[in-house]
Amino acid sequence: MSKLEWKPGTMVYPVPAVMVSCGDMEKANIITVAWTGTICTDPAMTYISIRPERYSYEIIKNTKEFVINLTTKELAYATDFAGVKSGAEIDKFETLGLTKEKANKVSCPLIKESPLNIECEVVEIKELGSHHMFIAKVLCVDADEKYMDEKNRFCLEKCNLMAYSHGQYYELGDNLGKFGFSVKKK
């Protein structure tokens, strides 16, 4: 069997499907983003890429802050809904029954139902084409204490995280090994 040649495209899958909250406690919005990731660990930096015509784009561009809220199997419906409905027309927090929680470092709310929230401050906007990349410094990470173990380790594997791959949402599953398992002495 041979490989088929396709036109250039973004086929790096799976990717995290996250809900990004923006605005403030009075007037907030949620946008679903699948183009996000780590840029640097020291200093901690991340990014989200958004189309300029999206409602949240101007909010984030003007406030220079947002929160990345990790999503779970239980948040799959809300994650999809927040990505296809416009916040210009509805209050997504209210419609989806999600809880606004005050953040520690930014004005926009956290989504309480998310197991992990990453508070971010925009340091640069790169206009790349269909999407613009908001490069951000991570100011704070908020972790739900119910996922902490007896050694004070956050158990991300117990959160039922989800991912997005080529138009579909998937629950993340089995542990295949930890970093360095391939060279560990037996």
CA proximity to 119, closest of 135, 100, 101, 142: 142
Check if the beta carbon of residue 167 is closer than 8 Å to that of residue 81.
Answer: no
- Phi and psi dihedrals of 111, rounded to 5? -95, 110
- CB neighbours of residue 116 within 10 Å: 20
Map out the domains of the chain as residue ranges: 15-171
Check if the beta carbon of residue 81 is closer than 8 Å to that of residue 30.
Answer: no
CATH no., domain 15-171: 2.30.110.10
> Tens digit of pLDDT for each residue in 41-63?
999 999 999 999 999 999 999 99
Dihedral sign for Cα 140, 145, 148, 152, please.
positive
> Tens digit of pLDDT for each residue in 10-20?
888 999 999 99
9 or 92: which leads in pLDDT: 92
